[in-house]
Amino acid sequence: MTAAAVLVGITVPAAADAATTAPTPPAAPVSAYDDTYYQDAIGKTGPELKSALHTIISDQTKLSYDQVWDALKVTDEDPANSSNVILLYTGRSQSKDSNGGDPDQWNREHVWAKSHGDFGTATGPGTDIHHLRPEDVSVNSTRGNKDFDNGGSEVGEAPGNSTDSDSFEPRDAVKGDVARMILYMAVRYDGEDGFADLEPNDKVDNGSAPAIGRLSVLKQWSDEDPPDTFEKNRNQAIYDQFQHNRNPFVDHPEWVGAIW
């Protein structure tokens, strides 16, 4: 969560004595992990930053698809009700035990649609809980494998979300979460491990290509909806208890603009 402090419009009059100096901007806050986990990425930008982050976050414990069920019951637990999880798009609090395949149960939503790169539920991108979230079965089906963009008609079962023939717009409270999950996947999976090189692009209707858009909209969403306590706690739980890697864009949202 490093924020650059910018000092503008301050001048020192020519007549000022030698003891007069311009105010010093406050030091930017330092992430708790900058001196350890992220030490090889600090100070880098562009492709160098992306490459450094890829190396860092690729060191992870991989889950099976069955293990994802139990992991999501921890990472997405409702802070107000430990028996429930919060569903990503609907925002509904629902019993952890109400998971399965019936229309009003919850299942495992791949935010980076698994058909975009054809990785399915294979251990790796198909089971990476940084982008797997609980969601209502029928709302998950409505999203399908659509790209992300603004616009469309409101989803009846999930007010605040919209969709059209080739894109899905999540509710405002999780727009940034969606963007940071997509960009995590693009950094983590770059063509190694036998999987496709996942990259965001600035279009929709990407089909089975290993791409998801719309990048310009995702960047806007990340700016407008910064990480909240739920998202930060989720990132910590994944790091502490499950995969032991982090989503760097939750810790440092300014790295979105530094890379793309």
Please, where are the H alpha helices in the chain? 46-57, 65-75, 137-143, 175-188, 215-224, 229-237, 248-251, 255-259
d(CA 46, CA 58): 18
**pLDDT tens per residue across span 108-129:** 999 999 999 999 999 999 999 9
Query: Using N-to-C axis directions, what is the helix angle for 229-237 and 175-188, rounded to 10°?
Result: 30
Does 57 have pLDDT greater than 80? yes
Q: Which residues are within 8 A (CB) of 219 and not within 5 positions of it... i.e. 6 or more apart?
A: 179, 256, 257, 260
d(CA 126, CA 219): 24
Instruction: Give residue 192's pLDDT.
Output: 87
d(CA 144, CA 208): 12
Backbone angles phi and psi of 218, in degrees to 5: -60, -40
Give the C-alpha distances (Å, rounded to integers) separating 86 from 69, 106, 177: 14, 10, 13
pTM of structure = 0.88
Q: Any idea which residue has 């791949």 for tokens?
A: 110
Does 14 have pLDDT greater than 90? no
In sequence order, what DSSP letters do the residues of 78-131 get, joined into one string?
ETTEEEEEE-TTT--EEETT-BSSSTTSEEEEESS-TTTTT-TT-TTGGG-TTS
Instruction: Give residue 98's pLDDT.
Output: 97
Residue 170 DSSP SS3: coil
| Mean predicted confidence (pLDDT) in 167-175 | 98
| Mean predicted confidence (pLDDT) in 185-192 | 96
| Mean predicted confidence (pLDDT) in 165-173 | 97
Instruction: Give residue 235's pLDDT.
Output: 98
- Of 55, 83, 88, which Cα lies nearest the Cα of 230? 88
Does 6 have pLDDT greater than 60? no
Instruction: Give residue 78's pLDDT.
Output: 98
Does 4 have pLDDT greater than 70? no
Instruction: Give residue 47's pLDDT.
Output: 98
| 210 DSSP 8-state letter | S
Instruction: Give residue 32's pLDDT.
Output: 82
Contact 243, 60 (CB under 8 A): yes
| Mean predicted confidence (pLDDT) in 30-40 | 89
Backbone angles phi and psi of 52, in degrees to 5: -65, -45
Instruction: Give residue 30's pLDDT.
Output: 53
For the chain, what is the mean pLDDT? 90
| Mean predicted confidence (pLDDT) in 10-36 | 50
